[in-house]
Structure 1
Amino acid sequence: MKNYTIRRILQLIPVLFGISVLIFAVMKMIPGDVISGILGVEATPELRAQLAAKYGLDRPYIVQYLDWIVGVLHGDFGESIRTSAPILPEILSRFKVTAELTIMAAVISWCIAIPLGVLAAVKRNTFADRFVRVFALLGVSVPGFALSILLILVLSLAFNYFPPLGYVGFFEDPLRNLQIMILPAAILGVSISGSVMRMTRSSVLEVLRQDFIKTVRAKGASERVAIFKHALRNALIPIITLIGMQIGSLLGGAVIVEQIFSLPGLGQMTLTGINQRDYPVVQGCVLFIAFVYVLVNLVTDLLYAYIDPRISYD
């Protein structure tokens, strides 16, 4: 396990390097530039040249990239062109909001999807199974931002309830924090629960057909033990794979939901950077999200051996 972990960590280096190159290249291909946005109608050639020299935008792209990536390796993501504030402290501050939203959404999704997926597998071709499949299809089909807007409209028009805006840290005021976070987390959780539900159903169904489940039942084990201790555990590998991918995608995919509920998360910071053509901010946010994403996938791979003793990385 130790050797495998070291190999996987080393494999992250070329992956992150490729991502950094791609991010930098895409930023340079975006139409418009931040200098025009800052100067506006006052964008004379002299002022443009001064700002370009100040931020190093007049140098060759390869030099700009090397300066940026060397700074990243030293823990310096640069400064915002708009605010001149260091980027990394702002990323870490906003990441706490996005991480909390992601964890709450993932837990809500698991609490909905796994029990219903197991129920659909056990009650195959019954009303319960058909209901779960329809619910899962709706979850897969309706995007989170559409569900957010629809739910806000229903709550405001039918119940005269308006979701609280802004953000309060959990340790500052736990109750207020939960009031703010529960609705966007529930929306994201429901929107991603459909795919986990379908995967759970199909995986559990496949395991229930295997001979060792018949042996477990023949030995007198209860149906609960046969399903949850034996069938579900052996069906967890594809479910964990999907969950790991969803956690990574939630970190970068909650942009619109954070914007709708005015949550100062990493997604909102990225979107603001894009709108303002603040390239260093966007590059730093996307690279940080990519790093967390590949780290989550590494943890997911390591969980395989813990969940299924038949898997060994020695």
Structure 2
Amino acid sequence: MYAYILRRLLMLIPVLFGVSVVIFFTLRIIPGDVAATILGTDATPEALAQLRKDFGLDLPIYEQYLQWMGGVMTGDFGESMRTGKEILPDISSRFAITFELTMLSAFISWIIAIPLGIIAGIKRNSKTDFGVRVVSLLGVSIPNFALATVLILVLALFFSYSPPVGYVGFFEDPITNLQILFLPALVLGTSMAGAVTRMTRSSILEILRLDFIRTIRAKGAKERVVIFQHALRNAMIPILTIIGMQIGVLLGGTVIIEQIFSLPGLGQLVLTGINQRDFTVVQGSVLFIAFVFVMINLIVDILYSYLDPRITYK
């Protein structure tokens, strides 16, 4: 197991290298002058030249990349082109908000999707199964930003309620923190629940057809024991796979929801960096998200061996 974890950690190097190359050179080929965007149209040629020199934009592109990666390897993600402040502390604080939102969304999706998927799998081709499949299909099909907009309108028009604006840390005021994050987490969790429900249903159906389930039933085991102690555990591997993928996607894909609910998360930081042509913020944030995504996949792979002892890593 430890050798496998070490190999996976070593695989981080080429993965993150590839991500860094793609994001760095993609930002550099975007049309427009970064210095002119920052200083404005009234900037003098001398001021533009000085700003390019300050941020190393006058160097060949490969030298810019090597300088940036040299800093990243020592824990220095660079400074914001707008504020001049180090971006790593800002990324860390913004990521904490996005991570909390992601995990709360995942928890909501689990408590919705897994019970519905189990019920649909047990009652295959019944009216209940049909209803669950329709609801899960709607969850997959409706974009989360559309669902968020409709939810805000319904609450405002019929209940005279509007979501809290701003953000309060969990340790500062847990109640206010959950009030702020509940609606965006509900929207994201509902969207996640559709795919997890469908996967849970199909996995349960596949396991219930296997011979060992018939043997357990033939021995007189109660149905809840068959479902929860035997079928669900064996069905959790594909469910865990899609959950891990969705968590990784949410960490980098909450930008629209954060914008709608005015949450100062990592997605909003990336969007602001793109709009302001703040290269260091964007490339540092994307590289950080890629690192977390790969680590989540590693954790999911390790959990496989605990769910199914037949799976071993050498």
Shorter-chain TM-score category? over 0.9
Normalised to the residue count of structure 1, the TM-score between the two structures is 0.99
Q: What residue is the counterpart of 1:35 in the other structure? A: 35
Q: What residue is the counterpart of 2:224 in the other structure? A: 224
Paired AA for residue 227 in structure 2 = I
Q: What residue is the counterpart of 1:155 in the other structure? A: 155
Q: What residue is the counterpart of 2:46 in the other structure? A: 46
Aligned partners of 2:103 and 2:260: how far apart in 1? 19
Aligned partners of 2:229 and 2:176: how far apart in 1? 38
Query: Is 1:88 the counterpart of 2:88 in the alignment?
Result: yes
* Cα shift at 1:34: 2.5
| Aligned ranges 1:7-22 → 2 under 5 Å | 7-22=7-22
* Cα shift at 1:31: 2.2
Query: Is 1:76 the counterpart of 2:76 in the alignment?
Result: yes
Residue by residue over 1:188-224, the C-alpha shift from the partner in whole angstroms, topping out at 9 and shown as x without a partner, is 0001110111011001100000010000111111100
Query: Is 1:265 the counterpart of 2:265 in the alignment?
Result: yes
* Cα shift at 1:36: 1.4
Residues 107 and 189 in structure 1, CA contact (< 8 A), matched pair in contact too: yes
Paired AA for residue 196 in structure 1 = V
| Aligned ranges 1:106-121 → 2 under 5 Å | 106-121=106-121
Residue by residue over 1:20-53, the C-alpha shift from the partner in whole angstroms, topping out at 9 and shown as x without a partner, is 1111011112222331122212233222111101
Aligned partners of 1:129 and 1:29: how far apart in 2? 50
Residues 139 and 194 in structure 1, CA contact (< 8 A), matched pair in contact too: yes
Residue by residue over 1:253-278, the C-alpha shift from the partner in whole angstroms, topping out at 9 and shown as x without a partner, is 10010011111100000000000000
Residues 33 and 277 in structure 1, CA contact (< 8 A), matched pair in contact too: no
* Cα shift at 1:158: 1.2
Paired AA for residue 19 in structure 1 = V
Q: What residue is the counterpart of 1:173 in the other structure? A: 173
Paired AA for residue 214 in structure 1 = R
Q: Secondary structure at 1:167's aligned position in 2?
A: coil
Paired AA for residue 262 in structure 2 = S
Paired AA for residue 308 in structure 1 = D
Mean Cα deviation higher: 247-256 or 38-47: 38-47
Q: What residue is the counterpart of 1:139 in the other structure? A: 139
Residue by residue over 1:135-181, the C-alpha shift from the partner in whole angstroms, topping out at 9 and shown as x without a partner, is 11011001111111110011101111001010000110111111101
Q: What residue is the counterpart of 1:56 in the other structure? A: 56
Q: What residue is the counterpart of 2:237 in the other structure? A: 237
Aligned partners of 1:131 and 1:121: how far apart in 2? 12
Query: Is 1:199 the counterpart of 2:205 in the alignment?
Result: no
Provide the identity percentage.
Answer: 66
* Cα shift at 1:12: 1.3
Aligned partners of 1:143 and 1:73: how far apart in 2? 38
Paired AA for residue 64 in structure 1 = Q
Paired AA for residue 159 in structure 1 = F
Runs of 4+ in 1 over 6 A off after TM superposition: none
Aligned partners of 1:195 and 1:26: how far apart in 2? 32
Aligned partners of 2:129 and 2:149: how far apart in 1? 29
Q: Secondary structure at 1:41's aligned position in 2?
A: coil
Query: Is 1:184 the counterpart of 2:218 in the alignment?
Result: no
Aligned partners of 2:33 and 2:159: how far apart in 1? 45
Residue by residue over 1:242-296, the C-alpha shift from the partner in whole angstroms, topping out at 9 and shown as x without a partner, is 1110000000110010011111100000000000000000001100000000000
Query: Is 1:129 the counterpart of 2:141 in the alignment?
Result: no
Q: Secondary structure at 2:40's aligned position in 1?
A: helix
Normalised to the residue count of structure 2, the TM-score between the two structures is 0.99
Q: Secondary structure at 1:78's aligned position in 2?
A: coil
| Aligned ranges 1:270-309 → 2 under 5 Å | 270-309=270-309
Paired AA for residue 312 in structure 1 = T
Aligned partners of 1:220 and 1:211: how far apart in 2? 15
* Cα shift at 1:83: 0.4
Aligned partners of 2:66 and 2:41: how far apart in 1? 32
Aligned partners of 2:32 and 2:269: how far apart in 1? 19
Structure 1, unaligned runs of 5 or more: none
Residues 121 and 129 in structure 1, CA contact (< 8 A), matched pair in contact too: yes
Aligned residues: 314
Residue by residue over 1:64-116, the C-alpha shift from the partner in whole angstroms, topping out at 9 and shown as x without a partner, is 00110110111100000000010000000111100100000000001111110
Residues 252 and 267 in structure 1, CA contact (< 8 A), matched pair in contact too: yes
